[in-house]
Amino acid sequence: MRIRDFAVVVAIALAFAACSKEQTVETTHQAKEQARSAARRVTDALDITVPVGAQPDQPQVRERERFDQQWRQLQTFHAQQAQQQAAAAAAAAQALPSGFRFVTGQKQSFKGLDANAINAAPVDVPITGDVRGPSVLRAQVYLDQLHFSVGSIDGRWGRNSAITVWWYQRARNLPTTGDVDENTFRVLAQEAHYAPVVRRQVLTAEDVQGPFVTIPSSVYDQQNLSCMCYQSIREKLSEEFHSTEDFLELLNPDVKFSELKAGDAIVVPNVRPAMTTDQKDFAKVVISLAGNSFSAFDAAGKLLFHAPTTVGSQYDPSPNETVKVVSIVPDPYFHYDPTLFAEVPDTDPDAHLKPGPNSPVGIVWIALSKPHYGIHGNEDPDSIGYTSSHGCIRLTNWDALEVEHRISVGTPVEFVDTRSKGMPAVAKKQS
């Protein structure tokens, strides 16, 4: 990371003091001491200080949230239900390519299917409820290709996918239901050019390159690592192809991931490629707090990008206002400050973690103008859209990377759906 002007770096480091638990009284002496402390820590990298990841992930809570339908009652979603247009009828009248066909009521799974069989499987519609199989995977992959992320792809339907479909339908002037009917699928498939849903990927040296580390549970042991790197080739590849580790294994039942080397081939979801260059086209970002969603628009109001997000918990609510981006930091260092966590004794020592995808702030930190808040990546992509953070806006690392390349300093970030009337407790940011 390049050395910034010393005064600017110090000011930014102070701005990243926390995501929450703002001090109500701060003496001049304390402010000066913080400045001196920050200055000592500034070397060749920015040291991000935010409280994240204190609450352990609870799979049973995530499973309960997966089929929570109360997001449909949110003001943002409800206000758009009247939007409809004839695009669906036009799509329905268009001929399908050879081998692409729709069925209804066909129970699907991945058992015994290879890549060719997955790609050739018929599309079973409507897609709604607790269903899984090639049809769900095709919808998730097509949405991902079109920059409507569903988070971690796993071939199983759920809340993240349904909300993303709702936003896709809204952006394409389709009836906004959150379910994938035949008309919605026709529009989606046509826009994605009926691409194969999975493909064979020959691994490069970069794909299998480490270093790989074991991440200890204690933050004090983590600070001794040379990087917060991936723990395995399987973890690295699952993030590269936007999927859960378990699903990547399901697609490759005979592969020993620990033994993979350059030149080997695996089956992967046919997701959008990683963005590597800037195209600063985000003019506005809207974040639904209760709806766990991140949406970016261009200057004309067109929706360019959507992704699930995890936002503030009951302890540290995300801001209810419009703020702006003030800084964009790739590969951030992380400063663990116990005084910023309600459940951690203030007397515990600090810790300093090096950058990496398994950092609590992932591979990107985007600071907001409201002191102590930001948008960032995350070391647990499967949790995005479900569990709570300490006030910041968390994305999967691959979505955060795209946002980094498309957002600019000064871009407004608006927070909506701050009330979750009628929603279950788990949707009210309770862990």
Residue type, 190: Q
pTM for the model = 0.79
User: What band does 307 get if pLDDT is binned at 50, 70 and 90?
Assistant: very high
Q: Which of 94-103, 135-144, 239-248, 277-286 has the lowest mean pLDDT?
A: 94-103
pLDDT confidence of residue 425: 32
Burial (0-12, 13-18, 19+ Cβ within 10 Å), 303:
middle
What are the pLDDT digits (tens) for 229-281? 999 999 999 999 999 999 999 999 999 999 999 999 999 999 999 999 999 99
Inter-CA distances, 364 with 5, 34, 113, 234, 259, Å? 20, 24, 37, 21, 30
pLDDT confidence of residue 5: 44
pLDDT confidence of residue 52: 65
Burial (0-12, 13-18, 19+ Cβ within 10 Å), 125:
buried
State percent of the chain over pLDDT 90. 64
State percent of the chain over pLDDT 70. 77
Decide which of 213 and 386 is more confident.
Answer: 213
Q: Answer yes or no: is pLDDT of 213 > 60.
A: yes
Nearest Cα neighbor of 427 from 177, 73, 50, 55 is: 73
User: What band does 289 get if pLDDT is binned at 50, 70 and 90?
Assistant: confident
Pair 379, 359: CB distance under 8 Å: yes
Gap between the Cα atoms of 148 and 141, Å rounded: 9
Decide which of 184 and 338 is more confident.
Answer: 184
What are the pLDDT digits (tens) for 157-196? 999 999 999 999 999 999 999 999 999 999 999 999 999 9
Q: What is the mean pLDDT of residues 359-387?
A: 92
Summary mean pLDDT of the chain: 83
pLDDT confidence of residue 389: 73
Domain boundaries, the chain: 1-49, 199-269
pLDDT confidence of residue 345: 87
Q: Which CATH number fits domain 199-269: 3.30.70.1230, 2.40.110.10, 1.10.287.610, 3.10.350.10?
A: 3.10.350.10
Decide which of 111 and 417 is more confident.
Answer: 111
Decide: helix, strand or coil at residue 326: strand
Q: What is the mean pLDDT of residues 277-294?
A: 94
Gap between the Cα atoms of 381 and 204, Å rounded: 23
Q: Answer yes or no: is pLDDT of 84 > 70.
A: no
Strand 364-368 relative to strand 123-124: parallel, antiparallel, unpaired? unpaired
pLDDT confidence of residue 57: 62
Alpha helices, H only, 281-396: none
Q: Which of 66-80, 100-114, 282-296, 380-394 has the lowest mean pLDDT?
A: 66-80
Q: Which of 77-86, 106-115, 167-176, 250-259 has the lowest mean pLDDT?
A: 77-86
Q: Answer yes or no: is pLDDT of 24 > 70.
A: no
